[in-house]
Every structure is written in C-alpha cells, then in structure tokens.
Amino acid sequence: MSDYQELIDAARRARENALAPFSKFHVGAALRGRDGRIWTGCNVENASYGLTICAERVAIFKAISEGAREFDAISVVTAAERLTPPCGACRQIIWEMCGDVAVVLANLQGEVTVHRMKDLLPFPFDNRSL
C-alpha cells in the first residue's frame, strides 16, 4: 500500500472538511495525477439533498478545473467499518474523467483495498456508446 499511502492520507485530511449536517457521513477523496499532483475533495451536503455533491466528484472537478487530464488513482476514506465504494454517479464520472484508474478504499480503522475502475463499473456508458 505504500504506493497509495500519501493518497490515503490526503483523503483522510480532506474528510475532516466534510459538510454533512444531515447524514453525518463524512467522506474524503484524493485524486492523483500521473505527474504526482494530488487534488482533494470532501462531501458537501445540501438541505435539498439532490444538490449534495460527493467527495470524489469534488476532487475530480477541482483537478479538471485546474487543467489536469491524466490520472492514475483515486482514494476514498470514510469512518465506516465497511469500506465505502463510490456511488453510481461517482463511478460514471470517475470512468469518464479518469478511465480505468486504481480506486483505493480506506477507513479510519486502517483497512485498505484497491480495485480497478473497470471492475467497479464493468459495462460503462461512455463515448463508445454514442
């Protein structure tokens, strides 16, 4: 996991900034560019719920808005005992913006697993579907 420790640590720190007054479920994400740069994000909830944005999308949109286009891994950290994978909407965005990157799931108890996006979204809708 040493390949991903910096990414996990960045996601853990980002999680501390989560704004989750309704669910109390704080999530941090960190996205690593192929050049080694890291962008972080946390979930931000809204009273209308539908306007809530997940940590993964915050990190990806920050990276894209700063001109990054090539990524190799994203980490998601929660306090849950069971490791928390990206939701369906995040899986779609990760696939389209990042491709078949490593998805590193971790929790505050120190558990870590690594998956490939192609395994989390095996039959994606993307530009090949248009």
- Active site annotation includes 56: yes
pLDDT tens column, 107-123: 999 999 999 999 999 99
**Residue 4 pLDDT > 90:** yes
pLDDT of 74 = 98
The per-residue pLDDT of the chain, averaged, comes to 97
Rounded to 5°, the CA angle 73-67-100 comes to 25
**Residue 8 pLDDT > 90:** yes
Determine whether 130 is exposed, middle or buried from the number of CB atoms within 10 Å of its CB (0-12, 13-18, 19+).
exposed
pLDDT mean over 35-44: 98
**Residue 1 pLDDT > 70:** no
Question: Given 56, 66, 70, 96, which residue is catalytic?
Answer: 56
Which pTM value belongs to this model?
0.96
pLDDT band at 2 (very low <50, low <70, confident <90, very high): confident
pLDDT tens column, 56-94: 999 999 999 999 999 999 999 999 999 999 999 999 999
Spell out the domains of the chain, with CATH numbers in brackets. 5-129 (3.40.140.10)
- Neighbour-count burial for 4-34, b at 16+ CB within 10 Å, e otherwise: beebbbbbbebbeebebeeeeebbbbbbbbe
